[in-house]
Structure 1
């Protein structure tokens, strides 16, 4: 018989020790999510700063100084990264706040909502990791092909 098989009308019980672990987890995820929000803000500020600097350099030098599109691309890249980074940080923040509320009030619905946000966090991070891995593989194949073509030429 499997111990983890749910039976009809049986709720999962979280003992005192497990509650302590969850409280500590909620504190750390809250802390990490706050740091994540700060990071998102820094990414946005850096993106706007880079766009502004390259725009000013282009206007001061009459278009002779550097490529304005490069600065615009880099700045936009930082802003896009901030938007992408926002979602897992938001899900982690919501997990921590819902978990704290669930433990404070012994509310199973809040606990379920907290774990739903945790699932969303890991799902987003997993998909993002998969997409980045595929992109890295594509770049690697293109770089390898370009190197082979350069060697043959």
Structure 2
């Protein structure tokens, strides 16, 4: 009995009506727009990293806090650009594969597009968890620091 139900789900097909296709098409257009903006933002981050490197190298050497920060600032911007590249790339793949899949009526391509969308959302979810965790750790460190000052 269970094998019979399993085989029915293995051959399950989903058909999209015109409204669903229109929603997907519009979603792909907006996703492509956001992906292009993301790539432009990554370019600006890389440009800022290059500018910060030249600005920091033009400053005189100092042993104070500015001397320690000199190389870190441009590396920070480059790391943020590299991290930001992944969700933007996944969003771009979703948008382009969705457009191609709708145009060519290719289910495998649409499956790849949804896989990219899943990866995009998964990356953003993990990033949110990491950021929330960092906020919690910073709050704990601040509380411990303030208590030690008393």
TM-score clears 0.5: yes
1:45 to 35, 47, 63: 47
For 1:73, the equivalent position in structure 2 comes to 72
Secondary structure in structure 1 of the residue aligned to 2:59: helix
Matched residues in 2 for 1:78 and 1:143: separation?
25
Matched residues in 2 for 1:33 and 1:96: separation?
8
Structure 1 residue 64 displacement after superposition: 7.4
Secondary structure in structure 2 of the residue aligned to 1:67: helix
Report 1:13-92 matches (<5 A). Answer: 13-58=15-60, 63=62, 67-92=66-91
Asked whether the 8 Å contact 1:54–1:68 carries over to 2, the reply is no
Secondary structure in structure 1 of the residue aligned to 2:13: coil
> TM-score normalized by structure 1?
0.87
> TM-score normalized by structure 2?
0.89
Q: How many pairs does the alignment contain?
A: 144
Matched residues in 2 for 1:8 and 1:85: separation?
37
Matched residues in 1 for 2:109 and 2:89: separation?
17
RMSD: 1.9
Q: Deviations over 1:85-138 (max 9, x none)?
A: 000000000000000000000000000000000000011111111111111110
Secondary structure in structure 1 of the residue aligned to 2:15: coil
Matched residues in 2 for 1:7 and 1:66: separation?
63
Cα 1:92–1:69 change in 2 (3 A) is same
Structure 1 segments unaligned to the other structure (5+ residues): 1-5
Matched residues in 2 for 1:113 and 1:52: separation?
42
Structure 1 residue 48 displacement after superposition: 1.6
